């Protein structure tokens, strides 16, 4: 088991290098960022040349990449154009987005799995159809619509919550944005759970458990649900990475200064250190989440072994 | 218990992930800020906050609160009035003697002296400091020594700046420039305290100036708290207790906070909300012209646009654009159809003219078609408009302009839009002269002078002359105007130069951009200056 984890961690190194390489080159392909620093005015050639030299932009691309990777291994992710260290930006942005992600994932797990179990057990009944229709509606409405709508109804019209999130972004203020962020994935979690439960409910081990006379509650939670969760856990695992990177829309609507906001600003200003640095971290988050999922498989299904 | 071991490993990995979230942080007080404090929307400044490095509105907003310069533009009229300057004297429009008023201090108690200005200007011009606004010092003798085009500077100081005594310094310019003193209200010319040079990093974290406000705290990317400086001696003392600037990810969100009472002031009402604004805010909505003009510039470096007779085509295209309709439909009257190449915010005295463009700027499809056909049609039979489309409804108005041109010419879809994803990419293509069709150029003036609307954009070889327009007659008139010491006469000469633009049409004036702002019920006396920045020190809080 320990060996398995170590091997997986070592496998992350080439993936990490490969992905930073791709991101670096793609951001570079967006063009020279220096001209935009001067607004509508013409860049002063001498000043622009100095800035390019400082940012290493006057070097060939492969040298820039080596320089950048050299910096990263020393824990230096470069400097954003407003003079702020990218590591500082990360220190302020990642905790906020991680909190938002935790709220969203928690909602997905609790609400999504509960709805999925109910509708999976009552397959074909009216409650099942109701959940299916509901999730279909949720999937088909884009995030920015639900976001602005819920913000307007709960924040402006009824005044139950603050429509925007303060800079500290405590958990209490992140519930509404968390719901908005969770909604689409929640529908998938519900549907995945439902299908999985509906399939396994007829499985031999469930029949055995029922025949042994175990209470219904125990049959469902310990035997049926645990084995049915594997596809759901896989989905939620990949979703952690997707939610963190994809929170751009939600973060904009609720004024959350997280990863999505920094990425958006970075792309808008062609700020390559910010974009590459943040995406690099997101890649790591993605890889770790996947490792976590693979480890959870064995917890859920003892038949799964690691070699 | 095999399952248990797995669970342990999984739990460990989860713990690592959670550790990163660490502390939650305290909560922010709700509502629109404490007593006497105005809360206002803000955008993250693009560059570090230094006077000579700030060239956009968001950073400029702060500098306007914490700095006062030799001159200051009257927020109502735009007139450049002496502020820290007791007098600025010259006999030849080239050598100036500047005398400072008594009693001015920085908020760290250091007196503002002639040296504070000279040091700041030398710093701003120094190429090794990489200040975006360096070219503003390029008129001063010795600029080339501190800001060479290549290599390291020969000197740290410009020989044209000489400190005579703590209250007096002299400035020698390379050429005659009669309206030069009027440019000194621009923030790049602010004085800097010694702390700026001795501990630069600390200064950037918490800037110290000589204006009516001091910086209480500054969290980059999040916000800045400014407080009234009680020992401020200027006549424009702040009437409120301070200003909290909050960075918003999106101006729609700021507007939402305004109408739900969490914010006092937004200085950029988003286009999507304009239909609600009367309902939501009533007369607490401001919409007035600013010193900003949007134009379509022709790439005159491309022979197909500059050859003999093409001026007719350029005028024709201008006449095919229905400005009234577009400003009404797309911008909901937050743009004003342009009538010249300057801005109404200059005022008639400052050189604005509602007739300079004349016929050529009014919608006349039949005349447009006739002019273009007379000149042999569009080059290659078509025209393509270019702009970045990431902000500012650029895509929408370009589509509308093309529709307008296509309808006027009646030859099918001859006008197309060439959208560019990001501002940076657009700027690269524009400044490397790669565009082959008319492109958007926005111009926000640095100071309310007609000179600033004409010279940098249309003078031969000027810094922002992206179309490479060149006309000896125009250059001659601009030179004459800069030599002319009588302000009214100088403005007249600039207006004569503008007539050449009307004939040649190197760029089509589209519309003037208005400043728009909305404010809540707690505050009153909200005004915008010519740069569409709120005059914060005048805002009253009830």
Query: Cα-atom radius of gyration of chain A, to the nearest Å?
Result: 24
Q: Give, to the nearest 10 degrees, the angle between helix A86-107 and helix A175-200.
A: 50
Distance from CA of A243 to the nearest CA of B (A): 15
Mapped onto helix, strand or coil, the DSSP state of residue A110 is helix
CA–CA distance, B306 with B320 (Å, rounded to integer)? 19
Which of B25, B55, B250 has its CB closest to that of A170? B25
Nearest CA in chain B to A37: B46
- Test B253 with A44 for CB contact under 8 angstroms: no
Q: Which residues of B touch A162 (CB under 8 A)?
A: 30, 260, 262
Q: Hey, CA dihedral for A207, A213, A217, A223, is it positive or negative?
A: negative
Chain A residues touching B246 at Cβ < 8 A? 167
End-to-end CA distance of chain A: 7
pTM tops 0.90: no
Q: How far is CA B275 from CA A149, A163, B262, B278, in A?
A: 17, 21, 21, 7
DSSP codes, B109-146: S-B--HHHHHHHHHHHH-GGGT-TTGGGGTTBTTHHHH
The confidence score (pLDDT) of residue B4 equals: 46
Of B18, B47, B424, the CB nearest to A35: B424
Q: Taking residues A217-227, report their average pLDDT.
A: 88
Name the A residues in 144-203 with CB < 8 Å from any B CB: 148, 151-152, 155-156, 159, 162-164, 166-173
For chain B, say whether A307 makes contact (Cβ under 8 Å): no
Which residue from B minimizes the CA distance to A263?
B249
Residue owning tokens 């751009």: A248
* Residue in B closest to A168 by C-alpha: B25
pLDDT at A187: 92
A166 and B27 in contact by Cβ < 8 A?
Answer: yes
Answer whether A94 touches B (CB < 8 Å): yes
Asked whether B103 and B223 are in contact (CB, 8 A), the reply is no
The reported pLDDT for the residue numbered A167 is 84
pLDDT surpasses 60 at A63:
yes
Which residues on A lie below 8 Å from B390 (Cβ)?
268
Give the integer Cα–Cα distance in Å for A242 and A238.
6
Residues of B with CB below 8 A from A173's CB? 27
Q: How far is CA A7 from CA A291, A293, A306, B110, B447, in A?
A: 11, 15, 11, 62, 63
What local confidence, expressed as pLDDT, does residue B105 receive?
94
pLDDT, residue A307, reads: 59
Sheet strands (E) in B274-382 = 285-297, 335-337
Q: Which helix (H) or strand (E) holds B243?
A: strand B242-247
DSSP state of B534: B
The gap between the terminal CA atoms of chain B, to the nearest Å, is 69
**Interface mutation target, options A29, A30, A82, chain B, most CBs of B under 10 Å:** A82
Q: Is A52 on the interface with B (CB under 8 A)?
A: no
| Both tokens assigned to B148 | 């060479």
Using an 8 Å CB-CB cutoff, list chain B residues near A160. none
Chain B nearest C-alpha distance from A119 (Å): 28
| Cα-based distances in Å from B343 to B120, B154, B453, B474 | 31, 40, 8, 19
Task: Kindly give the interhelix angle for B472-483 and B450-458, rounded to the nearest 10 degrees.
Answer: 140
Interchain CB contact of A99 with B (< 8 Å): yes
Minimum distance, in Å, between the CA of residue B435 and any CA atom of chain A: 15
Residues 20-39 of A with CB under 8 A from B: 30-33, 35-39
Selecting from B16, B45, B222 the residue whose C-beta is nearest the C-beta of A167 gives: B222
In terms of CA atoms, which chain B residue is nearest residue A158? B260
Q: Which residues of A touch B55 (CB under 8 A)?
A: 38-39, 41
Interface contact A292-B132, CB threshold 8 A? no
DSSP E strand stretches across B372-495: 383-388, 415-420, 439-444
Give the three-state DSSP class for B366.
helix
Taking CB atoms and an 8 Å cutoff, what residues of chain A touch B134?
A: 44, 46-47
CA distance B46 to chain A (A): 5
| Interface contact B2-A302, CB threshold 8 A | yes
The pLDDT value given to residue B26 = 35
Pairing, β B439-444 against β B507-519: unpaired
| Residues of chain B with confidence (pLDDT) below 70 | 1-34
Distance CA B60, CA B121 (A): 17
What's the mean pLDDT in A220-242? Answer: 88
Among the partner residues A43, A82, A99, nearest to B44 by beta-carbon distance? A82
A286 touches chain B (CB under 8 A): no
| B10 contacts A292? CB cut-off 8 A | yes
Average pLDDT of chain A is: 87
How does pLDDT run across A118-139, given as a tens digit for each residue? 999 998 899 999 999 999 998 8
Note whether A46 contacts B16, CB cutoff 8 Å.
Answer: no
d(CA A92, nearest CA chain B) in Å: 9
Taking contacts as CB-CB distances below 8 angstroms, the residues of chain A near B44 are: 82, 265
Contact call for B249 and A45, based on CB within 8 A = no
Cβ distance of B24 and A170 shorter than 8 Å: yes
Mark yes or no for CB contact A46/B149 under 8 Å.
yes
* Helical (H) or strand (E) element with B215: strand B213-219
Q: Which of the residues A6, A164, A253, A262 would you substitute to probe the B interface, choosing the one with the greatest number of B C-beta atoms within 10 Å?
A: A164
A82 and B147 within 8 Å at the Cβ level: the answer is no
| Distance from the B345 Cα atom to the nearest Cα atom in chain A, whole angstroms | 19
Asked if residues A102 and A182 have their Cβ atoms less than 8 Å apart, the reply is: no
- With an 8 Å Cβ cutoff, are A252 and B250 in contact? yes
The answer to whether the CB atoms of A257 and B249 lie below 8 A apart is: yes
* Closest Cα in chain A, distance from residue B276 (Å): 14
Question: Across the interface, do A39 and B150 touch by the CB < 8 Å criterion?
Answer: no
In this predicted structure, what is the pLDDT of residue B6? 52
DSSP B28: P
With an 8 Å Cβ cutoff, are A44 and B135 in contact?
yes
Within 10 A of B329 (CB to CB), how many other CB atoms are there?
13
Neighboring chain A residues of B56 at a CB cutoff of 8 Å:
39
Tens digits of per-residue pLDDT, A147-199?
999 998 998 888 888 888 888 888 888 999 999 999 888 999 999 999 999 99
């Amino acid at each position: 088991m320990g060996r398995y984890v170590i091997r997986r961690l070592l496998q992350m190194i080439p993936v990490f290098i490969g992905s930073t390489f791709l991101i670096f080159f793609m951001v570079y392909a967006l063009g020279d960022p220096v001209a935009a620093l001067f607004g509508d005015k013409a860049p002063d050639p001498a000043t622009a040349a100095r800035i390019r030299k400082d940012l290493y932009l006057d070097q060939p691309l492969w040298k820039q990449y080596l320089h950048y990777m050299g910096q990263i291994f020393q824990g230096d992710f470069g400097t954003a154009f407003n003079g702020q260290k990218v590591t500082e930006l990360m220190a302020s942005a990642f905790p906020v987005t991680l909190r938002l992600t935790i709220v969203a994932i928690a909602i997905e797990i609790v609400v999504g799995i509960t709805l999925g179990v109910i509708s999976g057990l009552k397959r074909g009944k009216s409650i099942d159809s109701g959940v299916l229709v509901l999730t279909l509606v949720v999937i088909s409405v884009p995030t920015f619509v639900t976001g602005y709508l819920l913000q307007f109804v709960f924040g402006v019209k009824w005044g139950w919550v603050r429509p925007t999130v303060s800079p500290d972004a405590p958990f209490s203020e992140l519930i509404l944005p968390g719901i908005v962020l969770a909604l689409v994935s929640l529908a998938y979690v519900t549907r995945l759970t439902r299908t999985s439960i509906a399939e396994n409910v007829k499985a031999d081990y469930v029949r055995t458990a029922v025949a042994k006379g175990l209470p219904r509650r125990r049959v469902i939670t310990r035997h049926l649900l645990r084995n049915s969760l594997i596809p759901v856990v896989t989905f939620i695992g990949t979703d952690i990475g997707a939610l963190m990177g994809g929170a751009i829309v939600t973060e904009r609507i609720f004024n959350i200064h997280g990863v999505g906001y920094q990425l958006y600003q970075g792309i808008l200003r062609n700020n390559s250190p910010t974009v590459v640095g943040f995406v690099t971290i997101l890649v790591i988050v993605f890889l770790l989440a996947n490792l976590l999922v693979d480890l959870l498989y064995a917890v859920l299904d003892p038949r799964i072994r690691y070699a | 218990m095999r399952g248990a071991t797995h669970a342990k490993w999984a739990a460990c990995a989860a713990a690592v992930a959670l550790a990163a979230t660490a502390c939650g942080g305290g909560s922010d007080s709700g509502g629109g800020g404490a007593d006497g404090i105005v809360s206002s929307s803000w955008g993250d400044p693009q560059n570090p906050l230094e006077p000579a490095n700030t060239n956009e509105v968001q950073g400029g907003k702060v500098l306007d609160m914490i700095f006062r310069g030799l001159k200051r533009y009257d927020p109502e009229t735009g007139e450049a009035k002496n502020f820290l300057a007791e007098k600025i004297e010259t006999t030849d429009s080239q050598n100036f003697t500047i005398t400072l008023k008594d009693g001015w201090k920085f908020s760290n108690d250091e007196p503002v002296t002639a040296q504070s200005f000279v040091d700041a200007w030398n710093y701003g011009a120094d190429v090794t400091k990489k200040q975006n606004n360096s070219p503003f010092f390029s008129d001063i003798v010795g600029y080339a020594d501190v800001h060479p085009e290549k290599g390291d500077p020969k000197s740290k100081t410009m020989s044209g700046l000489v400190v005579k005594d703590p209250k007096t310094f002299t400035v020698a310019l390379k050429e005659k420039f009669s309206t030069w003193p009027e440019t000194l209200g621009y923030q790049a010319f602010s004085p800097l305290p010694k702390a700026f040079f001795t501990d630069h990093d600390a200064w950037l974290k918490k800037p110290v100036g000589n204006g009516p406000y001091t910086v209480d705290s500054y969290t980059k990317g999040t916000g800045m708290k400014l407080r009234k400086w009680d020992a401020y001696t200027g006549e424009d003392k702040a009437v409120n207790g301070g200003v909290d600037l909050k960075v918003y990810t999106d101006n729609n969100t700021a507007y939402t906070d305004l109408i739900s009472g969490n914010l006092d002031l937004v200085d950029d009402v988003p286009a999507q909300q304009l239909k609600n604004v009367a309902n939501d805010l009533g007369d607490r909505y401001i919409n007035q012209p600013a010193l900003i003009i949007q134009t379509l510039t022709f790439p005159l470096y491309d022979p197909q646009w500059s050859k003999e007779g093409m001026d007719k085509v350029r005028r024709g295209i201008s006449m095919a654009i229905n400005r009234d309709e577009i400003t009404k439909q797309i911008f909901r009257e937050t743009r004003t159809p342009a009538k010249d190449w300057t801005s109404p915010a200059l005022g008639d005295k400052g050189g604005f003219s509602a007739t300079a463009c004349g016929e050529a700027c009014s919608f006349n499809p039949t005349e447009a078609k006739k002019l273009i056909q007379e000149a042999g049609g569009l080059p290659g039979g078509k025209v393509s408009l270019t702009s970045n489309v990431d902000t500012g409804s650029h895509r929408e108005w370009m589509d509308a302009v093309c529709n307008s041109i296509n309808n006027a010419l009646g030859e099918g879809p001859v006008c197309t839009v060439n959208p560019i994803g990001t501002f940076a990419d657009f700027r690269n293509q524009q400044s490397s002269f790669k565009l082959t069709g008319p492109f958007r150029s926005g111009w926000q003036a640095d100071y309310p002078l007609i000179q600033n609307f004409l010279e940098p954009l249309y003078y031969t070889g000027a810094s922002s002359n992206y179309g490479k327009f060149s006309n000896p007659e125009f250059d001659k008139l601009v030179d004459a105007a800069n030599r002319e010491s009588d302000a009214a006469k100088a403005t007249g000469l600039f207006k004569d130069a503008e007539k050449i633009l009307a004939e040649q049409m190197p760029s089509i004036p589209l519309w003037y951009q208005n400043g728009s702002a909305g404010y809540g019920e707690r505050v009153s006396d909200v005004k915008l200056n010519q740069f569409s920045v709120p005059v914060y020190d005048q805002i009253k809080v009830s």
